Structure 1
Amino acid sequence: MSGLHFLDFLIIGGYFVVIIVLGKMAVKEASTGEGFFLAGRKLGKVYQFFLNFGNSAAASDAVSTASIVYQQGISGIWIGFQMIFLNPYYWFMYPWYRRVRLTTTADIFKDRLGSTRLAVFYAAFTIVSAVAVTMAFGNLVSYKISSALVTKSEESWTPAERQSVADYRELRQMETLSVKGELPEESRGKLSVLRERQARGELSNFVTALKPWPFYIIYTLTIGAYIVMGGMAATAFAEAFQGILIVVFSVILIPAGVAAAGGWDQLGQRLPAEALQLFGSGAGLSQFTGWTIAAVFLATLMQAHAMPGNMSIASSAKNEFAARFGAVSGTFGKRLVTITWAFCGLIAIALYSGTDALADADMVWGTMSRQLLGPGLLGLMFAGVIASNMSTIAAKAMSVSALFAHNIYRGFRPNASDKDLVRAGRWTLVVVLLVGVVVSSQLSNVYTVLQFAMTINVPFGAALLLMFIWRRVTVAAVWTAVAGSALINIIFPMTAQHFSGITTEPSLIVRVVDTEGRPVPVYFESVVRSNPEDHDSPLEGRGRLHTELVLLNAVGVDVQGLSSGGRLAGRFFVDALLPFALILVTSLITRNPSRERVDQFFGKMKTPVGDTPELDAAAMLATERDPHRFDDRKLWRKSSWEFTRWDRVDTIGFLVSCVITLGIIGLLWVVVHTVSA
């Protein structure tokens, strides 16, 4: 086994010890339900910053950003970086989750609409999606990086492993000759076969010595140990420590990478011009055109409201200013480190192109770490990656734990004590972490999972956004949006691949040719030959069927004629707008919730959180007696839209957030311009 030095193991072991100690320190804070799930609602601005930074800045984001930039150039940064436009909006959004004064996001459906069934369904759906997508995704990325750090020496390769690496190297050589127009005609059949095998994931440019199951088990036991002991308080303590490691792992590769590329001047010369375009054309290297960024942002805006961590993090704040400050500052921190991740992707293009290109783009981060970092630094990178993903998974696991205990377990045991709920929450953590391990072993492609994760909660997000600002939202409308979106975005796309009549349908297994002459699937995630050794064997679709594109084609859009960026934009536009439209239309023709319930909800949403629990209780008592006492703050008094006038804190915070947003985007432009100059 090669890759890690004794010093690296010492650093990694030290990290695990610190995390367990932090969990032990927080045990006293987790004796009650509010203490375990929400850290007693007393976390200030500093802890809120680290909670939001750690929750948003996962190693999975680093890997996916570097991987996408490596494949598509700097414009690939926008798949995550477009969220910077949400930061000024967070200044208003996060106080909603503090003012609602609930424990879980699912509670909002019961409090606002009076629907226990919707609350339970949201809780169950979110638990499944959080485990199957978010948490398993984090596990997968941690393993992807770690497996690239711990590799087999060449003399210990098996014959099959040796052949896989040799075939990949031959593929890269033939691809290079093909681009130059120097590939002999008799070799084109072999190139086609190797491309098919590459599409199946059968080729590799290195062999890992790290087995997935032992890694997942040790990794998960560590996360479970500190959050089961200390709950949200332990998560907050750990985030403060892990936040420092996240910054370290985000920048540690850059000096070594620039040096390996030959310095700043050589780095710019080794990068193709298209790789340095912030906005791609959609036809060549990059899928991220202006339209793509707008579509992804719209889907992200909708989904942002349904993230389960919103409630657990915001509600743990001692007041709404701490909640909004932590959300905005923590996510600004994430935007800054995103630039460093993208820069690592550019370095990877310079180092691993042509015959040196990587077989799996998801291995960029791990491969660079293994080749560029020495003893000690490699261990620090390993610890930083683990810390980054642990912080995100811990926050998600706490949200899932609260959802199960409050919205499912308590439904079966309405008289459960506080102690019972904490016990149920702890056992939930154990179960979901173990299930996350099992699901992780079934995932393979980071980019594909990332796209799925960005849209899975959009219907609930659209519902929650409208529930916060529009009095007319109905239970039937939310059910309609959830059912319609699930059919288009989850059920049909994921089940279609199991029906041969669909996977072999000629109109769905279409492939177009990209600018480098490679076949690119249109409707399926991948389209391959049933027999990779036979160039004339039938084509078959594999992976996700992009039902959104099938719909667009059905209404007359020339999907095949769109660029790859145009097709990606089309998918996100459908996913974002469909549930929003379904809720608006259905709400106008179905029965509204009771007026008294709606009045009480919006009265509460206009009541600022008191500085102490006693003051807050007194303010809420006054609102319960007169839910309209703050209606003078509405922009349109008689409208069903609940928009309120901004106060001084709203205005200053929003303007400062806008200035910082523009400043960070400007920093990205300066970095790219400096490299290309």
Structure 2
Amino acid sequence: MVNTILLHWLDWVVIAAYFAGIVSVGLFVSRRVNKTEHYFLGNRGFSVWLILGQAFGVGTHAEMPVSLAGAVFQSGYSAIWYQWKNLFITPFYWLLGPLFRRMRRTTLGEVYEDRYGKSMGVIYTFFALAFFSFNMGAMLKGAGKLVSVAAGEAVTPNTVVIAMTATFLAYSLVGGLVAAAYTDFVQSFFIIALSFLLIPIGLMRIGGFSSIQSNVQPEMLSLVTPGDIGVFTILMLTINGLVGITAQPHMIAAIGTGKDERSCRIGMTYGNFIKRFCTIGWAVVGLIVMVLLMETGDVLADREDAFGYATRELLFPGAVGLMIACVLAANMSTCSAFTVDSGALFTQNFYRRYLAGNRSDRHYMNVGRLSGVTVTTLGVLFGLYVDIVLEAFLFTETISAFMGISMLGGIAWRRANRYGAFMSLLVSSTLFFWMTFRDYGILLRWQDWNFGLSMLAGFATLIFVSLITKPEPKTVLDAFYERLHSASCFDDSTGKEKLVTKEGHDLLIANLFDLRLNQGWKVFYGRFKVDINGFIVASGVVIGLIFLARGILLLP
């Protein structure tokens, strides 16, 4: 068994100081937040650095190093694909980033209403609120597990969940997205550093990469194995990520709030590449723990204790506290963003439209705060219930993928309509949960074949039902696609939006069925120049990361 070693007093001092510091940052930048546009969206004027920080910070949670290090510890290096499932689609983020800005809405619920009508807007709102609750629960429980193990189980995971929630609510209710964005940016630097802090210390402890090569079976060091993670599983995880991210409810706030499309593109793409880079570090930690346990004879009660065990065993007093504080702070800022986003969804898509349509701006901001707290409370309850963080993470991603069928279809295909959108969600989700319950007797389980068949059925249903039912009104479609075809940016001198008329800013995804390839390569490249150039560069980064992940294990 693992010996119980309580945190050093210096660790507690560091944790307390860090919590106080991050709350102070959040409250300091919240001073001028006094209207809904600022509270929910930061006036759509965030710099590329803040979008980078948001994309990395909001997309990187404490459950990720916890779940991935645990998965690698149990299944081998190929388990990196549980987090790298979005690696191959990261270049597509260059294409998706400007779409979220061009939607010019506060929430994706409003986008669904624009595209498919009020009923689909309401359905999306309830889906999004459930997504936030499940995701916050998974994040909070992941952080709770890490702290509990690192502290020698001096505190329980559920105690950590409750303490974290009270802390991030302290500044999110005041500063909204502005506070979340700035705290995310600050935390990003520490998460990068601390994702790799364990590695040199761990390698010195076990004798370098050569010790991993000699003690771990070769098949456990493969990036692709015929075991838990095969090529088909990677393909399904990739589709899960590509389709699902278009419907994840925090994307407009996290990505679409850049001051121009360049900020959105760079922030979304390279903020996530930073996360992919850190993922290599988390995977290596899992391998280090494999060898470390062989030497010590310790036994982990839960595979997801691996990262916390490494933190406690390898880091010195003070550094353990810093690691814990940084990971928790990153989670708190992410949960803060989710609190704000869920409040915006309820306020804009339900309360303002159906319950109280003529109230003051301050009234709606207060409703957003209260509804955000309610969704957060549901997330806490889920976090207290869930035991397997990785399964909870994949569960939330899968729900968004089924919703993403209609979002991606609605952007790329003009003929998609509300009937096809609703039926695609109903068929794909019903089929998936039926097959999962049939095979495992539970609903909280992701399996590649079940997911693949469900996605295929969902897309087929969207196409078939849309074709046999009446299309959306032409005026509605024209207004929707006019926004998607119009680039704009925030003008600092006037404080307002201005159109960008320069050639090369057409979007491939929004014009998927209007590429005009018959006009030749020159015309095609001229229309989509920004999309094409950025996609090629990002694809090169993907190749580089794969070579890095493989090559790092060959080091002495």
Q: TM-score surpassing 0.5? A: yes
- Whether 1:544 aligns to 2:443 is yes
- Whether 1:144 aligns to 2:145 is yes
Judge conservation of contact 2:180–2:334 (CA < 8 Å) in 1: no
**Quick one: which amino acid aligns to residue 648 of structure 1?**
K
**Quick one: which amino acid aligns to residue 129 of structure 1?**
F
Aligned to 1:21: 24
Judge conservation of contact 1:65–1:80 (CA < 8 Å) in 2: yes
Q: 1:509-564: CA deviations, max 9, x gaps?
A: xxxxxxxxxxxxxx21xxxxxxxxxxxxxxxx5x4386x9xxxxxxxxxxxxxxxx
Aligned to 2:405: 462
Correspondences of 1:277-676 after superposition (within 5 Å): 277-282=222-227, 287-353=228-294, 356-411=298-353, 412-490=355-433, 492=434, 523-524=439-440, 543-544=442-443, 568-612=447-491, 619=499, 634-636=514-516, 646-674=527-555
CA distance in 2, matches of 1:9, 1:377: 11
Aligned to 1:269: 214
Structure 1: stretches of 5+ with no match in the other structure: 152-207, 497-507, 509-522, 525-540, 549-567, 621-629
1:637 shift after superposition:
10
Judge conservation of contact 1:3–1:150 (CA < 8 Å) in 2: yes
Judge conservation of contact 1:456–1:489 (CA < 8 Å) in 2: no
Secondary structure in 2 matching 1:387: helix
- Whether 1:93 aligns to 2:96 is yes
CA distance in 1, matches of 2:444, 2:5: 40
Aligned to 2:521: none
CA distance in 2, matches of 1:415, 1:644: 48
CA distance in 2, matches of 1:406, 1:317: 21
Q: 1:270-327: CA deviations, max 9, x gaps?
A: 1111111111112xxxx11111101111121111101111111223211111111110
Secondary structure in 2 matching 1:279: coil
**Quick one: which amino acid aligns to residue 544 of structure 1?**
L
Correspondences of 1:119-138 after superposition (within 5 Å): 119-131=121-133, 133-138=134-139
1:433 shift after superposition:
2.0
CA distance in 2, matches of 1:580, 1:29: 45
Correspondences of 1:70-81 after superposition (within 5 Å): 70-81=73-84
1:408 shift after superposition:
1.3
1:392 shift after superposition:
2.5
Pair 14,449 (structure 1): closer, same or farther in 2 beyond 3 Å:
same
1:388 shift after superposition:
2.6
Correspondences of 1:44-123 after superposition (within 5 Å): 44-113=47-116, 115-123=117-125
CA distance in 2, matches of 1:447, 1:439: 14
CA distance in 1, matches of 2:282, 2:527: 36
Aligned to 2:192: 247
Secondary structure in 2 matching 1:30: coil
Pair 655,637 (structure 1): closer, same or farther in 2 beyond 3 Å:
closer
CA distance in 2, matches of 1:306, 1:545: 20
Judge conservation of contact 2:70–2:304 (CA < 8 Å) in 1: yes
**Quick one: which amino acid aligns to residue 578 of structure 1?**
A
1:590 shift after superposition:
1.1
Judge conservation of contact 2:244–2:404 (CA < 8 Å) in 1: yes
CA distance in 2, matches of 1:71, 1:366: 15
CA distance in 2, matches of 1:674, 1:290: 26
Secondary structure in 1 matching 2:357: coil
Q: How many residues align structurally? A: 536
CA distance in 1, matches of 2:467, 2:120: 19
CA distance in 2, matches of 1:350, 1:435: 39
**Quick one: which amino acid aligns to residue 393 of structure 1?**
C
Structure 2: stretches of 5+ with no match in the other structure: 501-509, 519-523
**Quick one: which amino acid aligns to residue 453 of structure 1?**
T
Q: 1:218-266: CA deviations, max 9, x gaps?
A: 2101111111111111011101111112112211211221122123322
Aligned to 1:202: none
1:616 shift after superposition:
7.0
**Quick one: which amino acid aligns to residue 16 of structure 1?**
F
Greater CA drift, 43-52 or 605-614: 605-614
CA distance in 2, matches of 1:149, 1:619: 52
Secondary structure in 2 matching 1:658: helix
Pair 144,339 (structure 1): closer, same or farther in 2 beyond 3 Å:
same
Judge conservation of contact 2:429–2:454 (CA < 8 Å) in 1: no
Aligned to 1:551: none
Judge conservation of contact 1:94–1:314 (CA < 8 Å) in 2: yes
**Quick one: which amino acid aligns to residue 488 of structure 1?**
L
Aligned to 1:235: 180
Aligned to 2:34: 31
Pair 615,232 (structure 1): closer, same or farther in 2 beyond 3 Å:
closer
Secondary structure in 1 matching 2:358: coil
Pair 545,341 (structure 1): closer, same or farther in 2 beyond 3 Å:
closer
Judge conservation of contact 2:419–2:466 (CA < 8 Å) in 1: yes
Judge conservation of contact 1:29–1:36 (CA < 8 Å) in 2: no
**Quick one: which amino acid aligns to residue 69 of structure 2?**
A
CA distance in 1, matches of 2:322, 2:185: 17
Greater CA drift, 255-264 or 339-348: 255-264
Aligned to 2:507: none
Secondary structure in 2 matching 1:27: coil
1:488 shift after superposition:
2.7
Judge conservation of contact 1:29–1:233 (CA < 8 Å) in 2: no
**Quick one: which amino acid aligns to residue 228 of structure 1?**
L
CA distance in 1, matches of 2:95, 2:147: 39
**Quick one: which amino acid aligns to residue 301 of structure 2?**
A
Percent identical = 29
RMSD of aligned residue pairs (Cα, Å): 2.5
Judge conservation of contact 2:135–2:396 (CA < 8 Å) in 1: yes
CA distance in 2, matches of 1:4, 1:102: 46
Pair 544,120 (structure 1): closer, same or farther in 2 beyond 3 Å:
closer
Aligned to 1:258: 203
Aligned to 2:506: none
CA distance in 2, matches of 1:437, 1:344: 28
Greater CA drift, 608-617 or 464-473: 608-617
Judge conservation of contact 1:54–1:388 (CA < 8 Å) in 2: yes
Pair 50,280 (structure 1): closer, same or farther in 2 beyond 3 Å:
same
CA distance in 1, matches of 2:177, 2:526: 34
Judge conservation of contact 1:303–1:461 (CA < 8 Å) in 2: yes
Secondary structure in 1 matching 2:399: coil
Aligned to 1:200: none
Q: 1:349-381: CA deviations, max 9, x gaps?
A: 212259644221010011111122220111011
Secondary structure in 1 matching 2:31: helix
Pair 96,644 (structure 1): closer, same or farther in 2 beyond 3 Å:
farther
CA distance in 2, matches of 1:433, 1:28: 23
Secondary structure in 2 matching 1:457: helix
Secondary structure in 1 matching 2:88: helix
Judge conservation of contact 1:458–1:579 (CA < 8 Å) in 2: no
**Quick one: which amino acid aligns to residue 402 of structure 2?**
P
1:617 shift after superposition:
5.7
Secondary structure in 1 matching 2:488: coil
Secondary structure in 1 matching 2:551: helix
